[in-house]
Amino acid sequence: MKKLKYLLIIFLMLFSSAEIVAQKDSIALQRKARKLVRDGNQLYQQKRFTDASVAYKKALGNDTNYEKANYNLGNALYETQNFKEAVPQYELTAKTATDKFTKAEAYHNIGNANMESKQYQPAVDAYKNALRNNPTDDETRYNLAVAQQLLEKEKQDNKDDKNKDKDKKDDKDNKDKDDKNKENKDEGDKDKKDDKDKDGKGDKDKEKNKDPNKDSKEKEKQKQKPKQSKMTPQQIKQLLESLSNEEKKTQKKMNAKKARGKKVKQEKDW
């Protein structure tokens, strides 16, 4: 029995020692985290926001529940325009904060980050949550009014875009319908033309079926008909005599040309 009591005492002493060591380690980590946050704040004041973010992340590595480190990290990310990454940090602060004013500030910053990202509906929701925790914040109330106006404009623009798309679709459908009607009309005109061509072809076929020798025979008959002379015998005699005289004159001219054209062969003087 005494031995059992002795073992129990030893166990309690060891457990207490371990707990004391853990507490000391935890306090040391918290102190280190606070120092890192102070370093981050100095960097933040110097507008070295990226370096400040690194310091705040290191602080959270030592103390994951360090509320100020979460909130300040969100601010540093916001200043580097990493709005999407800043929102979760503010959300964590809004969830873990114990006082309403801290919650209101976190929601206010969530609204601002969403406004920068043009996420107007989440911004409106965040500003409303901020006012629920701090109804006297006029800046949040003003931002809420701006976010609501931008949200309404966005909805109207989306509605107008849908109407435009619908109008474009209707115009396309009408155009397709007109093209189809035109195509049908062209096909109808083509059918009419084909029918007309067939009729013309039939007329040509009729002409081809006619006797091809008929026209030749008619022409031959016309050629075979003797033409009646309108000249008197005396006129014919005079014409013959005139032709005879002209022929003689032509023959004399031809003989003269030949004589003039004949070259005399000359003997060479050696």
Q: Indicate if the pLDDT at residue 241 is higher than 60.
A: yes
Q: How many domains does the chain have?
A: 1
What band does 223 get if pLDDT is binned at 50, 70 and 90?
Answer: very low
Q: Exposure pattern of 136-162 as b/e (b: 16+ CB <10 Å)?
A: ebeebeebbeebbebeeeeeeeeeeee
- So what's the pLDDT on residue 205? 55
Residue 224 lies in a domain: no
- So what's the pLDDT on residue 174? 77
Residue with tokens 């004589």: 259
> Are the C-beta atoms of 56 and 40 separated by less than 8 Å?
yes
Residue 74 lies in a domain: yes
Check which CATH number belongs to the domain holding 40 and give it.
1.25.40
Give the range of the structural domain holding residue 48, as residue numbers without chain letter.
19-80
- Range with the poorest average pLDDT among 49-63, 147-161, 175-189, 249-263: 249-263
Residue 57 lies in a domain: yes
Residue 37 lies in a domain: yes
What band does 213 get if pLDDT is binned at 50, 70 and 90?
Answer: low
Residue 220 lies in a domain: no
Residue 119 lies in a domain: no
Average the pLDDT over 255-269 and give the result.
37
Q: Give the pLDDT confidence of 192-205 residue by residue, as tens digits.
A: 666 666 555 555 55
> Other CB atoms closer than 10 Å to residue 121's CB: what's the count?
14
- So what's the pLDDT on residue 57? 96
- So what's the pLDDT on residue 257? 41
Q: For residue 97, what are its two tokens? A: 């904060």
What's the predicted TM-score (pTM) here? 0.55
Residue 9 lies in a domain: no
Residue 157 lies in a domain: no
Average the pLDDT over 16-23 and give the result.
55
